Chains A and B, each alone.
Chain A
């Protein structure tokens, strides 16, 4: 893959990588670093990269793994900080003050288990096919459908509590 081909085919994928990282890290700066890092990793393997028939899914998978690594490191360094943070900030569901509907949806998604959040994002924001989500999330396609269904139902149920 030449530099020009890489620029037009791969560099624009930074956006989906960024969106996923931003969701997982909950932080713009980390998301920028991580999504750049993934593009650079793809650049280093550019000779092999065209052999993958779905570079977007492949890159999203790399993004997710890198985010999980970062989160693991962070949680190791800040166990105490988080503990005290949790005390002062109880995640009591009733205390969510949603300024508008979109905010409410966001807060509700945040309360779902990680796998459900991931599958919802990949489907809703990135508009991936079930097979692609399966690749990124390390699940079987059937598993993806089950998790997706569970997440949507839970979300509806929670949403209706606030109406």
Chain B
């Protein structure tokens, strides 16, 4: 770990200055024996900063704002209330068991959730999946984007609630997206068959969507539309693969924006008439851009995190 040879070190430094080293690689540079300037001084500076600590936190501040007496009174009345409600519930409803919910949330990372029935949910960033503890009813609430791989159980359908739409399956795999506040729920089926419906009673319609198809529920028009169009890039965040088949450049850039979390800037003329075919496995942004550069004769530069594209169309 400690000694790295000169060529490795040179490569590492280059990556370091391109902002591409991992934390482990930076540790390697930090602990390397060689006298590196100015990197060693930078690391030593950070190390000294890391030692800076605040005076210890006044833990007494972690109390409620009320005096002890007040708190005691509250506690006493709460205890009474709990006692009464306990007696009440035991007396009147023997089976009133509280439903406990489990909620899994994601922020900057994806999470793979293994449910107790054997189904697997891959939840994309900024999402939430909620289900009852024990998961006996095979029912989940989704906010955000997820890919479902549902274990087959003919006796008990698996249901996903998203906004006003319900997706019901016996066992298949599919992708769903609903962003809270959005009027649209998007479904794409990879395998098997899915029943897609609205909670709205007016729409007494269940649409069956099969593998290779997409459907979109629109809350405003209260309709479900089905397409025989499968877009593999909807789940690129899970498959780590971007696929294009004679795709207009505009569509390619939209998919890439979502996948890499970058913004593209270009004039309409740059992209007019350009189409692209190709598949990228776990690509970096640069790999994709280089491919465009060679195939479509487009040049690019990075500016404040934006990718500026230049070219003269195809």
| Sample (15) of A-B pairs whose CB atoms are under 8 Å apart | A11-B57, A14-B54, A15-B53, A32-B54, A40-B62, A52-B105, A52-B107, A54-B108, A57-B107, A101-B38, A102-B41, A124-B43, A127-B23, A140-B261, A150-B19
B265 interface residue per 8 A CB criterion: no
Given contacts A101-B41, A143-B305, contact A125 B50 (CB under 8 A): yes
Residues of chain B contacted by A134 (CB below 8 angstroms): 108
Q: Is the CB of A11 within 8 A of B54?
A: no
B44 interface residue per 8 A CB criterion: yes
Q: Is the CB of B57 within 8 A of A39?
A: yes
How many A-B pairs fall under 8 Å by CB? 125
Q: Is the CB of A102 within 8 A of B45?
A: yes
The interface stretch among A65-73, A77-85, A87-95, A152-160 is: A152-160
Q: Is the CB of B58 within 8 A of A19?
A: no
- Interface mask (A12-38 → B, CB under 8 Å = 1, otherwise 0): 001100110011000000011001100
A14 to B41, CA, bound (A): 26
Which residues of A are interface residues toward B (Cβ below 8 A)? Answer: 3, 6-7, 11, 14-15, 18-19, 22-23, 31-32, 35-36, 39-40, 43, 51-54, 57-58, 101-102, 104-106, 109, 121, 123-125, 127, 129, 131-132, 134-135, 139-150, 152-153, 155-156, 159-160, 163
Q: Is the CB of A53 within 8 A of B41?
A: no
Q: Is the CB of A142 within 8 A of B54?
A: no
Q: Is the CB of A102 within 8 A of B19?
A: no
Residues of chain A contacted by B16 (CB below 8 angstroms): 152
Beta-carbon nearest neighbor of B55 in chain A: A32
Given contacts A105-B42, A143-B304, A143-B305, contact A153 B23 (CB under 8 A): no
B48 interface neighbour in A53, A102, A153, A159, Cβ under 8 Å: A102
B110–chain A nearest beta-carbon distance, Å: 11
A104 interface neighbour in B41, B52, B57, Cβ under 8 Å: B41
Given contacts A53-B105, A53-B107, A102-B48, contact A139 B305 (CB under 8 A): yes
Residues of chain A contacted by B37 (CB below 8 angstroms): 159, 163
Given contacts A7-B62, A19-B52, A101-B41, contact A153 B261 (CB under 8 A): no
- Interface mask (B95-108 → A, CB under 8 Å = 1, otherwise 0): 00000000101111
B19 interface neighbour in A6, A106, A148, Cβ under 8 Å: A148
Beta-carbon nearest neighbor of A16 in chain B: B50
Scan residues 217-264 of chain B and give those whose CB is less than 8 A from a CB of chain A: 260-263
